[in-house]
Copies of this chain bind each other. A is one copy, B any other.
């Protein structure tokens, strides 16, 4: 393939073989054409200095590493502790003692916060720690010319969530089934290839820049399904992890490792991995000590235990608190955390047994353990009770464990949302989840839960959608999901449409030919509602999981219906949906606090989009929308395909304005999305027509 390049991304001045994404050189134009003063010392301050220097070298600006102070600096990036500041900076600092935009404290900026102001013709970024300076610099980049126009009142910026993490499901050795990257749709891994470390620091550094620029500060470098080769990353292959950490560190990104709970057996030769066994505790302590010797800022462990066949504490008659606390104990002396996944369910369920409900599983397993986890355990909870569907309710676990640090896990890799062959901008979906108030209008949001008390929350986590594809994400437009994830993790109250525009402006407008306005409008129009479009042409009304088994791409209505995976729709000739009420169903609704327990319990009050998740209803049941369920199915599926057709047409019209390599790749994928959407429409409509016998009210063709 010809490698599409729309900007310069890497540390050197040449063009790189991968896409610049939201950091094209032109994004630094305003900053790089000024006089810039960087004040402070440290690894991340050096990073800031390096970024600024390269920008100024390109665009004719000038850089000072103060003191002494430069009176003609137009941008000051300074650590407050670094000593006396010039007048403008002092003024900003004084004014900055106001409440933070998204902080919890008073005047403090914290480890990652910064104060941004423009006073008397000087733009000022002040921070108390180097990471804050780095984030502040990227804020200036995002602002572009606006950072140097009118005065900006001093405002403090702190991340709402301390932990903003990407989980890579990358295998070191190519797995015979899941490949190099499990559920990866963007080529190979940035870290590993064919059983060994890739050792491509230039590209990794560029990746780190992109992550820092959108706010991500943590990463796990291997798949949560830890196979034999990957298990060794904890011991024999630790050097590979240390090398990655070395490259990511200048951008404030801490490395985590997915480990197998069976490590003491697999790696240590012990006869047991029992969390209460002294030898096991000693093994973990020693192994962890060795990790911190090599990687002093190591983040911690990520564990998928007793889930889908992975080993865990159940084998020893212990519970998940015992298991997690074992690792927590080993990590605590070094400041690390254990991230313990709550994705535990019976994947060998009997489809005949309608009383077992996979949706209940995480709550059943974990809610009783609230309060039993060590302080440095973070329970990592998938946002919904099933598995990253395009529509499901928010997991009740997130409202059930006030004494536990909870992280909310979303999936940037589009396993169930079109696999980066479909445009599906997930910002609005994640935003809806983060703004959801499980205790009702007066209570906290899910974002508040992730923030935790006193900043000790688990934060937000996404399964990464990145690979070694030149565009990073396979589908060029899927970059927006990575970007939006980082921005929402920093500030969950951001408007996803605004984030989208920010990403478009940074990534595409600098490289657009001619008037950028049509490209901006087109991209926005294609992407902003694309998640809802995807929902329209796929599984209806929250019922979920009508994908092809195994690879999960494309429709197969009954594909999982008679399997042990716990993902059913129970469609028969009369109706469809899963009865999860306490009155007549699995009782899942009871896992929610009021008011949602009552809202979901009621067929009348339940939101339309979740009706079939909670209720089994006749096809002629009338929705709040006034349409019957069956007519809703037909209508949304016809509409979804029409919307994809419109996307495709829109994209065609900007052919001349976008880099041909980008345009071609997106056009190809839109063709495939259209083909796939038609297939979804026809299979779903035909399936339900054959079952219900109800014709379409508008007489459209159902095969």
Tell whether, in the assembled complex, residue A573 and residue B703 are in contact, meaning their CB atoms are under 8 Å apart. Answer: no
List chain B residues, Cβ under 8 A from A703: 351-352
Which A residues, 326 to 365, have Cβ-Cβ distances below 8 Å to chain B? 351-352
List chain B residues, Cβ under 8 A from A558: 556-559, 687
List chain B residues, Cβ under 8 A from A682: 352, 562
Tell whether, in the assembled complex, residue A562 and residue B555 are in contact, meaning their CB atoms are under 8 Å apart. Answer: yes
Stretch of A39-47, A246-254, A447-455, A689-697 that contacts chain B: A689-697
Which A residues, 552 to 568, have Cβ-Cβ distances below 8 Å to chain B? 555-559, 562
Minimal beta-carbon separation of A411 from chain B (angstroms) = 25
List chain B residues, Cβ under 8 A from A693: 572-574
A686 part of interface (Cβ distance < 8 Å): yes
List chain B residues, Cβ under 8 A from A571: 690
A683 part of interface (Cβ distance < 8 Å): yes
* Pick from B351, B559, B572, B683: contact of A691, CB under 8 Å: B572
* Pick from B351, B562, B683, B690: contact of A572, CB under 8 Å: B690
- Determine the residue in chain B with the shortest Cβ distance to A679: B562
What's the Cα separation between A682 and B563 when bound, in Å? 12
Minimal beta-carbon separation of A560 from chain B (angstroms) = 10
List chain B residues, Cβ under 8 A from A692: 573
- Determine the residue in chain B with the shortest Cβ distance to A571: B690
Minimal beta-carbon separation of A136 from chain B (angstroms) = 50
- Determine the residue in chain B with the shortest Cβ distance to A692: B573
Interface hub of A571, A573, A683, A689 (most chain B Cβ within 10 A): A573
What's the Cα separation between A683 and B352 when bound, in Å? 9
What's the Cα separation between A703 and B351 when bound, in Å? 9
List chain B residues, Cβ under 8 A from A550: 550
List chain B residues, Cβ under 8 A from A691: 572-573, 690-691
What's the Cα separation between A555 and B572 when bound, in Å? 18
Contact with B along A659-698 (1 / 0, CB 8 A): 0000000000000000000010011001101111100000
Contact with B along A7-45 (1 / 0, CB 8 A): 000000000000000000000000000000000000000
Minimal beta-carbon separation of A683 from chain B (angstroms) = 5
List chain B residues, Cβ under 8 A from A572: 689-691, 693
Contact with B along A284-312 (1 / 0, CB 8 A): 00000000000000000000000000000
Tell whether, in the assembled complex, residue B555 and residue A690 are in contact, meaning their CB atoms are under 8 Å apart. Answer: no
- Determine the residue in chain B with the shortest Cβ distance to A558: B558
What's the Cα separation between A558 and B574 when bound, in Å? 18
- Determine the residue in chain B with the shortest Cβ distance to A557: B558
Tell whether, in the assembled complex, residue B690 and residue A562 are in contact, meaning their CB atoms are under 8 Å apart. Answer: no
What's the Cα separation between A216 and B352 when bound, in Å? 47
- Determine the residue in chain B with the shortest Cβ distance to A563: B556
Tell whether, in the assembled complex, residue B556 and residue A562 are in contact, meaning their CB atoms are under 8 Å apart. Answer: yes
Minimal beta-carbon separation of A355 from chain B (angstroms) = 12
Interface hub of A558, A679, A687 (most chain B Cβ within 10 A): A558
Contact with B along A528-570 (1 / 0, CB 8 A): 0000000000000000000000100001111100100000000
List chain B residues, Cβ under 8 A from A352: 682, 686, 703
Tell whether, in the assembled complex, residue B562 and residue A686 are in contact, meaning their CB atoms are under 8 Å apart. Answer: yes
- Determine the residue in chain B with the shortest Cβ distance to A555: B562
What's the Cα separation between A571 and B687 when bound, in Å? 10
What's the Cα separation between A550 and B693 when bound, in Å? 30
What's the Cα separation between A703 and B703 when bound, in Å? 29
* Pick from B351, B574, B683, B689: contact of A562, CB under 8 Å: B683
List chain B residues, Cβ under 8 A from A555: 562
What's the Cα separation between A689 and B573 when bound, in Å? 9
What's the Cα separation between A690 and B558 when bound, in Å? 12
- Determine the residue in chain B with the shortest Cβ distance to A694: B573
What's the Cα separation between A550 and B551 when bound, in Å? 12
List chain B residues, Cβ under 8 A from A689: 572
What's the Cα separation between A351 and B687 when bound, in Å? 12
Minimal beta-carbon separation of A352 from chain B (angstroms) = 4
Interfacial residues, chain A to chain B (CB-CB below 8 A): 351-352, 550, 555-559, 562, 571-574, 679, 682-683, 686-687, 689-693, 703
Sorted nearest first, the 6 A-B pairs with minimum C-beta distance are A572-B690, A352-B703, A558-B558, A573-B573, A562-B683, A573-B693
Given contacts A556-B562, A557-B562, A573-B573, 17 further A-B contacts (CB under 8 A): A351-B703, A352-B682, A352-B686, A352-B703, A556-B558, A556-B559, A558-B687, A562-B679, A562-B682, A562-B683, A562-B686, A562-B687, A571-B690, A572-B690, A572-B691, A572-B693, A574-B693
Can you report 18 A-B residue pairs in the complex whose CB atoms are below 8 A from each other?
A352-B682, A550-B550, A556-B558, A556-B559, A557-B562, A558-B559, A559-B559, A562-B682, A562-B686, A562-B687, A571-B690, A572-B689, A573-B690, A573-B691, A573-B692, A573-B693, A690-B691, A691-B691
